[in-house]
Structure 1
Amino acid sequence: MGRLALPKFPIKHPKNKNNKNNNKTTSTHHGKQTMTLRYPALIDGEKGAYGVVFPDLDGVVAMGETIDEALINAEESLRDYAIETERDGATLIEPSALENVTVPSGATLVSVPLIRVAGKPVRANMMLDADVLDFIDTEAARRKMTRTTYVNWMTRRVAQMGG
């Protein structure tokens, strides 16, 4: 297992004043309106040791041995930040627009969605192309997942990439 390290660059926090932000989307599901926030994040590191920091959120960091693992951990760190902030009765910090984030040399700017986990499964009946379903089943088996678990996991990965 490689050494995990935080990113090596200094973080310049963006100013949120007059921040025209496209990092929020709203949708309605079963009559309930929900908002999805996407926070800018910076990835840095080297093979075997990647770190992710959120310029808007002091102390919210994630690490991983691969970029994918670091992003998965970043999504979890962001969710933990939201849970703790709301538990304390505070308001979530507004995410900066990606265009307003300074990207240090050697870092990569990404957008990480705040995906809340309700812990309440909901049935969703879908029609899929037979080849797409075959791919899902093959990948699920390869990863030792159920079809449902794989679709849930895959959807979260697509959302991380900007879906």
Structure 2
Amino acid sequence: MPSRYYPIILENGSEGFHATFPDFPGLTAFGDTKAAVTANAEAGLALHIAGMIEDGDDIPEPSDLDQVPTDPEVVEAGRLLVRGELPGRAVRVNVTFDEALLAAIDAEAKRRDTSRAGFLAAAARREIAQQTGTR
């Protein structure tokens, strides 16, 4: 998978740090520490890029960290680069499920007009986003 490094702008928040992405308006991440917000930002970026690819959107080239203008209304706590992995080829995996759970997954995938793999991938993305505090 090819990697790109995207800038994030860190701000102090009431409960830790908040990160925004100049190249992805609306994408944010949160964390108690700079390390946590950076890890959450990277996880959120991965999900966001995957969603953009699924939607057929173009992935922007990263902005130069030093060329991102400062917002006079934002008190920055720092600027960092986070890695964004562009998805590569699909990889076949072999997993084992309880047969009743697999039947429920298949029924829900059919109801949503998607494949088993598509349903499981979307569920995994939602779970990762929820656990990492990304939007």
Q: TM-score, normalised by structure 2?
A: 0.56
> Does 2:43 match 1:80?
no
The question of whether the paired residues in 2 share the 8 Å contact of 1:47 and 1:65 is answered with no
> Does 2:76 match 1:106?
yes
Counterpart AA for 1:108: G
The question of whether the paired residues in 1 share the 8 Å contact of 2:17 and 2:31 is answered with yes
More helix by share: 2
What RMSD in Å do the two structures reach over aligned CA positions? 2.5
Partner SS, residue 69 of structure 1: helix
The question of whether the paired residues in 2 share the 8 Å contact of 1:48 and 1:66 is answered with no
Q: TM-score, normalised by structure 1?
A: 0.47
Aligned identity (percent) is 25
Unpaired runs of 5+ residues, structure 2, are 94-135
The question of whether the paired residues in 1 share the 8 Å contact of 2:41 and 2:82 is answered with yes
> Which structure has more RCO (C-alpha within 8 Å, separation ≥ 6)?
2
How many pairs does the alignment contain? 88
Partner residue of 1:69?
36
Unpaired runs of 5+ residues, structure 1, are 1-33, 122-163
1:34-86 deviation line (CA, Å, top 9, x unaligned): 43110010011157421010011111110011111111110011001110000
> Does 2:11 match 1:44?
yes
Q: How does 1:1-163 map to 2 (within 5 A)?
A: 34-46=1-13, 48-104=15-71, 105-115=75-85
